[in-house]
A and B are shown apart, each in its own frame.
Chain A
Amino acid sequence: MVIYRPHTDLEFPEFVLADSRAFGDYVDADGSIWRADGHCSTTMDYLKKSRPADNSVVAIDDGTIVGTSAWINSSISSPNGSLIECGLVCFVSVDVNHRRQGILTEMMKRLLLKLDKQPAPLVALWASEYNIYGRFGFGVATEEEQISFNRLLVNLSDCNYVAKANFLDSAEVMDVAQSLWANNQCLRPGLPSLSEGMWGLYLHKSNLKKNKWSPSFYIKAEDEIGKTGLLAYRTCEGETNSLMIELLMSSSPSTEQALWKAVLSTDLYENITVNHVTVDSPFWWMVDNPREITRQKNDALWLRIINVESSLSSRLYKHDGELIILVEDKFLSKSGIYKLSVSNGTGNVSKVKGRPDISMDISHLSSLFLGGFSFYELWISKKITATDPGKIKLADYIFGVTLKPWCPYEF
């Protein structure tokens, strides 16, 4: 019989081993974790520091861990700059010999119910496969693009901002990254708060060679009023002379431009790939020849609202108004009708009875929550229903965001 409980501190190596094996990674005797392509992705020590041990639900069969799941207590930036408590789910896996037995469903239910008792009304994750998490009430909350281009065919056009850019030593990166990240959390939804341990893990990975790619180089941009930007990239010399950007984040148009200018000045490297690009990146609009940029769109962060009342009253809104929303949450048996009244941008939410203006599944409310999608998109797709189109327009008016949600950190 499979039992479910948090793993103990002593079981951490077995927990990591079970998770790594499920993802096809190899853990050596020193605790280093190796990817199938032969690069060391991280070590057990760094993983351990990135989250507390008791935030987990593991499945144990006959004394062996056969399913893993865990979360990091954190918060996430919501529209208009507020931070909302959010569990960041990670290490989700089931042993290949124990699949199709309901273990993942049971772990997810227990994990979500545990988090429901904590202050976090939201849960977020990166999905290893697309078709797993919708049934648990998760919805795609942020999309991102991978862009690629030949540097020789693209120039910035008519950009008038001024900022300087300089290389940073890896020891200097942490401070710059942390403050830039916090600054961006005020500007843009979707960015989780990262602990020292998570930053440590990120920089540790970033400073390791990644298969054929060099350890990361870092460039900091700074404008006249002290706004900053950070670029992290790896290089690969050889037949392709490629450059891969893993992070390009700025806090002002001038620093954004300075970083792209730096990218376009990397003379020895022609083929540029940029990962984790926000869907509203200005880069495509900045260049003289946008067709040369291949933009491929993907799902990124998935979100799950556990507590509708608390979530909707935690975020701020762009405009005032009132909506009655029916939310179906079959997985947690928490369906209900909620009245959202927004006054001066603050939401007041209560459970009500009566005819809803808009009806939807919890996964769709989760997709809408950060502003990554519009009510209109979901309505014309017939994924949500409304008593009249005016309610959809009103909902988009109330929930509108200036910048699209974005999360360039995979946890």
Chain B
Amino acid sequence: MLNRSNPVCFFSLINIKAINKNNFLDWRKAVRRGFGDVRDFKDMEILRLERVEINRLIAAVVDETSGIVGTGGIDSFNLTIPGFKSIKMGGIAYMTTSLTYRRRGIWTELMNYLHDDAVNHGEIMTGLWASQSNLYRRFGYGIGTLSERWNIKSRFTSIKFRSDPDVFVEFVEQSDALEIFPSIYESFRKKNVGMINRSEGRWRYEIHQVKKGQNPVFYLLSSRNGKPDGYLIYKTVRSGDMEMGSIEVIEELSLSVESSLHLWSLIVDSDLINNIVADNRPHQDPILWYFTNPRSVTRETKDGVWYKLINVKKCLEMRAYSTEDSKTIKVLDPMNLEDFKTFRVESTNLGASVYHSNSEPDIEIYYSDLASAFMGVTTFSLLNQTGRLRIKSSSVIEQLDMMFGTNNAWCPHYF
């Protein structure tokens, strides 16, 4: 149950309420209606059994009719942050407001409720995939991972590499994929910033989602020295035996470049295929250095997961820094500039200590921008060019860039 005994009442007729098994189906229908589609019962059951934590789902309910006019919820995750520590993160999802109840503040109340819920669950960050990119900055969310959409004209390029005799790639059945792939994913997660964990149930849910539709799904496993080392899940689309088709790469993760190369080369060199689409690839994918003709790979940069630092002090303490330095950071809420907090961050080779400060800040920054810099997806130099930062001196920017410098964050898990 939500740890909140007295739901917020922002209109006399609408309350935010926790979801239970009795109203779960109504809630789910409302969520999908918000996104403009309808799901069948089986779909909703799989969601209930394998994905959601029912006590973390909420709805805005009209008192008179008990109708649901707003929805939201949190999935619990562990997120790998710079320095490779794993922290508790609330994954906000299912956010909708009924078409007929928009512009009344329901959305804001739902978000506030979920943020309180995250605090109560000990989560120091929340994250979300934004359906639109102009919705969440005002709540303190900043772009935290980047992704690239690839469209590969596979008949005009290949992957050039020296085949590794220790690598063996094979097709596996769905049941084997569900048994083997999660351990590869988990090993990858621990060493890569921006990755979140995926439970067993969530794996089953994701595979169920992938299998929807008529196009077949294939599972490739790469083993290196006999150990599972990488996988690639893909779908093919072909309209007939005489037609060239296309491949949609659902997910590829490998613990070594060698496995990644072997997996991708099989896909890129596929007969009967014209083009390959991969929707969420990392920003600096090693594979890009191996295409014989990278201009056949159209790469579009997109926003990935958006993050909010719920507990700024704790987040800044948990993160690793590239240099030993100390800086005073004033964090501003764009909705209420009076409501700021100032932190002193001191990083040493033993770790970071962070405390509230009354000193003159080295930098003033919005929550949303700090979240982006925290994940290393942008630099303070770049943010300074937007005109949103206030800095004590120009040298501060360079020092902060050095301090917060990290490799690009990436999250292949859509939630």
Query: Are B386's CB and A282's CB within 8 A?
Result: yes
Subset of 20 A-B contacts with CB under 8 Å: A130-B295, A158-B334, A158-B387, A158-B388, A161-B387, A280-B379, A282-B385, A285-B382, A286-B387, A290-B143, A290-B303, A291-B130, A291-B132, A291-B302, A294-B300, A295-B302, A297-B299, A298-B295, A380-B286, A381-B289
Selected contact of B294 from candidates A294, A299, A383, CB within 8 Å = A299
Query: Are B385's CB and A253's CB within 8 A?
Result: yes
Q: Please report the C-alpha to C-alpha distance between residue A152 and residue B294 in the assembled complex, in whole angstroms.
A: 33
Contact flag A253-B257 (CB < 8 Å), given A130-B293, A299-B294: no
- Flag B358-369 by CB within 8 Å of A: 1 or 0 each: 000000001000
Residues of A within 8 A of B132 (CB): 289, 291
Within 383-414 of B, Cβ neighbours of A (below 8 Å) are at: 383-388, 398, 401, 407
Is B209's beta carbon under 8 Å from chain A?
no
Is A23's beta carbon under 8 Å from chain B?
no
Residues of A within 8 A of B398 (CB): 402
Query: Are A282's CB and B382's CB within 8 A?
Result: yes
Is A256's beta carbon under 8 Å from chain B?
yes
Q: Please report the C-alpha to C-alpha distance between residue A255 and residue B385 in the assembled complex, in whole angstroms.
A: 10
Query: Are A131's CB and B133's CB within 8 A?
Result: no
Q: Please report the C-alpha to C-alpha distance between residue A290 and residue B290 in the assembled complex, in whole angstroms.
A: 30
B353 → chain A closest CB, angstroms: 24
Q: Please report the C-alpha to C-alpha distance between residue A129 and residue B130 in the assembled complex, in whole angstroms.
A: 37
Selected contact of A280 from candidates B134, B290, B303, B382, CB within 8 Å = B382
Is A292's beta carbon under 8 Å from chain B?
yes
Is A357's beta carbon under 8 Å from chain B?
no
Residues of A within 8 A of B293 (CB): 129-131
What is the interface size of chain A, counting residues whose CB is below 8 A from a CB of the partner? 37
Is A257's beta carbon under 8 Å from chain B?
yes
Within 258-304 of A, Cβ neighbours of B (below 8 Å) are at: 280, 282, 285-286, 288-292, 294-299
Query: B286 — nearest CB in chain A belongs to which residue?
Result: A381
Does more than half of chain A's interface fall in helix, strand or loop, or is it mixed?
mixed
Residues of A within 8 A of B383 (CB): 282, 285
Q: Please report the C-alpha to C-alpha distance between residue A297 and residue B301 in the assembled complex, in whole angstroms.
A: 7
Query: Are A378's CB and B289's CB within 8 A?
Result: yes
Query: Are B386's CB and A286's CB within 8 A?
Result: yes
Is B137's beta carbon under 8 Å from chain A?
yes
Of listed B130, B143, B294, B301, residue having the most chain A CB within 10 A: B301
Q: Please report the C-alpha to C-alpha distance between residue A211 and residue B148 in the assembled complex, in whole angstroms.
A: 32
A163 → chain B closest CB, angstroms: 10
Query: Are A402's CB and B381's CB within 8 A?
Result: yes
Is A50's beta carbon under 8 Å from chain B?
no
- Flag A102-133 by CB within 8 Å of B: 1 or 0 each: 00000000000000000000000000011100
B322 → chain A closest CB, angstroms: 9
Selected contact of A295 from candidates B143, B284, B300, B378, CB within 8 Å = B300
Is B55's beta carbon under 8 Å from chain A?
no
Residues of B within 8 A of A254 (CB): 387
Query: B151 — nearest CB in chain A belongs to which residue?
Result: A296
- Flag B266-291 by CB within 8 Å of A: 1 or 0 each: 00000000000000000010101110
Of listed B382, B383, B386, B407, residue having the most chain A CB within 10 A: B386
Q: Please report the C-alpha to C-alpha distance between residue A254 and residue B372 in the assembled complex, in whole angstroms.
A: 22
Is B292's beta carbon under 8 Å from chain A?
yes
Selected contact of B388 from candidates A160, A294, A382, CB within 8 Å = A160
Within 286-336 of B, Cβ neighbours of A (below 8 Å) are at: 286, 288-290, 292-295, 298-303, 334
Residues of A within 8 A of B292 (CB): 131
Selected contact of A288 from candidates B134, B295, B303, CB within 8 Å = B134
Is A208's beta carbon under 8 Å from chain B?
no
Q: Please report the C-alpha to C-alpha distance between residue A362 and residue B179 in the assembled complex, in whole angstroms.
A: 44
Is A168's beta carbon under 8 Å from chain B?
no
Q: Please report the C-alpha to C-alpha distance between residue A257 and residue B294 in the assembled complex, in whole angstroms.
A: 32
Query: Are A381's CB and B257's CB within 8 A?
Result: yes
Of listed B148, B294, B382, B387, residue having the most chain A CB within 10 A: B387
Residues of B within 8 A of A145 (CB): 301
Q: Please report the C-alpha to C-alpha distance between residue A381 and residue B260 in the assembled complex, in whole angstroms.
A: 10
Query: B291 — nearest CB in chain A belongs to which residue?
Result: A130
Query: Are B387's CB and A257's CB within 8 A?
Result: yes
Is A3's beta carbon under 8 Å from chain B?
no
A359 → chain B closest CB, angstroms: 16
15 more CB-based (< 8 A) A-B contacts, given A159-B386, A380-B286, A402-B381: A129-B295, A158-B387, A160-B387, A280-B382, A282-B382, A282-B385, A288-B137, A289-B132, A289-B134, A291-B134, A296-B298, A296-B300, A298-B295, A380-B257, A382-B286
B372 → chain A closest CB, angstroms: 8
Query: A158 — nearest CB in chain B belongs to which residue?
Result: B388
B56 → chain A closest CB, angstroms: 27
Residues of A within 8 A of B148 (CB): 297
- Flag B109-146 by CB within 8 Å of A: 1 or 0 each: 00000000000000000000010111001000001000
Selected contact of B387 from candidates A253, A290, A291, A378, CB within 8 Å = A253
Is A196's beta carbon under 8 Å from chain B?
no
- Flag A369-404 by CB within 8 Å of B: 1 or 0 each: 000000011101111000000000000000000110
Q: Please report the C-alpha to C-alpha distance between residue A297 and residue B151 in the assembled complex, in whole angstroms.
A: 12
Residues of A within 8 A of B366 (CB): 158
Q: Please report the C-alpha to C-alpha distance between residue A44 and residue B379 in the assembled complex, in whole angstroms.
A: 45
